[in-house]
Structure 1
Amino acid sequence: MKQITFYLDLISPYAYLAFEELPMELLGLSYSVTYKPVFLGGLLKHNGVLGPAEVPPKRAWIYRHVQWLAHSKGVVLDMPAVHPFNPLGLLRLAVATDAAGLPNRYVCETLFHHVWRGGADAGDARRLAAITQSLAPVQDPAGPEVKAQLKAHADEAIAAQVFGVPSFEVDGKVFWGVDALPMLRAYLEGDAWFTDSEADTRWAGVHAVPSGIPLRSA
């Protein structure tokens, strides 16, 4: 059985779509998933890049694209009343539902639906209070332990070279984006592309490709 670590931020519509699609995309395979909430803003800051919604034309395209993807997959997706929003309250709540800071699939589903179904304000304090009561966290979402656990998830993600969400890490390999799910499935199935004589060149060898412009060090 393969162990997949799913790095997610509830602010990301692509993370929501990947969460919804994962069971069907990997149907029939033997695997387990550990869900690790991370603050996408921290990953972006570490890598010195703007968030997707901070570039106006890109923001507009993303909102169109995710609604199309949801429509094409038969997934309910309603744009929240405000986006982007500060997701830290929801991320800390997710972490707080488990002593080790690892929310289960039910918790992640509940929080994703809180954001991406119904079209309400995901950052509304009253809604946060209500969903906190519903999920009955075992830790204080505002406590230092939870904040430390959330930061530890991000530190681990950065060490694994995760730069965005959704990201799936398995066997030291990171697969990024909802469109990487077929590639992830192929890896789990043992596709020869990942194991033949050229596999190392395809995967690790990309770091040796020279760049014609200056690159920022991670």
Structure 2
Amino acid sequence: MAVIDYYLFPLSPFTYLAGLRLEEVAARHNAKINYKPFDLMRVFAAHGTPPVPKRHESRQAYRLQELARIAKMNGMPINPRPAHWPTDPKPAVAAVIYAQEFSHEHPGGDVGKLSFNLLKACWAEEKDISHESVVEKCLEDAGFDGGIAQRDLQSAFDIFERNTDEALASNVFGAPTYIVDHEVYWGQDRLAYLDAHLTRGEA
């Protein structure tokens, strides 16, 4: 079985715009997804990538155009300037980490749907994913106990930091990033390449 390490950041608009296409690709190839929320800001700092507000105005303008284009192409709603961005990503991070860890206790739970719910809440629903009530609703809508993210938050944050260390060691520099068979695929627009790679592996 192929294993896809999925490095995601719950405040990344391009991760949101991937929708649930990774999950569709994985299902077609019977591949397993390891969800790895990581600290994109720490990775940016390590690679010398300025955060969005500090980028040249031409890059900031192009980013807004791209978000609108990609959303339209995929039929997805988006507010390129959401009301609650940036915000503290850690409550959402803890939710994804614990949902994956305790998914065996919630057979109806869907970690992919949870991750997308959190991203959609920020980028399409004008909700603040640092708020406990928002995170709980995202968990419940994905089939999990809404209180799951409150289990030993420090342990979740330790995993968050470890995921970030692994991202840096694996040459991850942006989100979303997918790694399979040591091949790195950066960006929601590379999912077709990932799909093709998995197809070749089945030949």
Report deviation, 1:162.
0.9
| Corresponding residue of 1:58 | 59
Contact 1:20 / 1:75 at 8 angstroms: preserved in 2?
A: no
Report deviation, 1:133.
3.3
Contact 1:92 / 1:146 at 8 angstroms: preserved in 2?
A: yes
Contact 1:3 / 1:31 at 8 angstroms: preserved in 2?
A: yes
| Corresponding residue of 1:75 | 76
* TM-score computed with the length of structure 2 as normaliser: 0.78
Report deviation, 1:37.
0.8
| Corresponding residue of 1:159 | 169
| Corresponding residue of 1:84 | 86
Paired residue for 1:122, among 123, 128, 137? 128
Report 1:81-160 matches (<5 A). Answer: 81-99=83-101, 104-118=111-125, 120-122=126-128, 128-134=131-137, 135=139, 136-140=146-150, 143-160=153-170
Contact 2:6 / 2:36 at 8 angstroms: preserved in 1?
A: yes
* TM-score computed with the length of structure 1 as normaliser: 0.74
Question: Aligned in 2, Cα 1:54/1:129: closer, same or farther, shift over 3 Å?
Answer: same
SS of 2:150's equivalent in the other structure is coil
| Corresponding residue of 1:184 | 194
For residue 60 of structure 1, what is the amino acid of its counterpart? A
For residue 132 of structure 2, what is the amino acid of its counterpart? A
Identity %: 23
Question: Where does structure 2 lack aligned partners over 5 or more consecutive residues?
Answer: 104-109, 140-145
User: CA RMSD, aligned part only?
Assistant: 2.6
For residue 124 of structure 2, what is the amino acid of its counterpart? R
| Corresponding residue of 2:15 | 15
Question: Where does structure 1 lack aligned partners over 5 or more consecutive residues?
Answer: 192-218
| Corresponding residue of 1:46 | 46
Number of aligned pairs? 186
Rounded Cα–Cα distance in structure 2 between residues aligned with 1:16 and 1:186:
22
Q: Which entry has the higher C-alpha Rg, 1 or 2?
A: 1
Report deviation, 1:82.
4.2
Question: Aligned in 2, Cα 1:21/1:67: closer, same or farther, shift over 3 Å?
Answer: farther
Rounded Cα–Cα distance in structure 2 between residues aligned with 1:70 and 1:6:
21
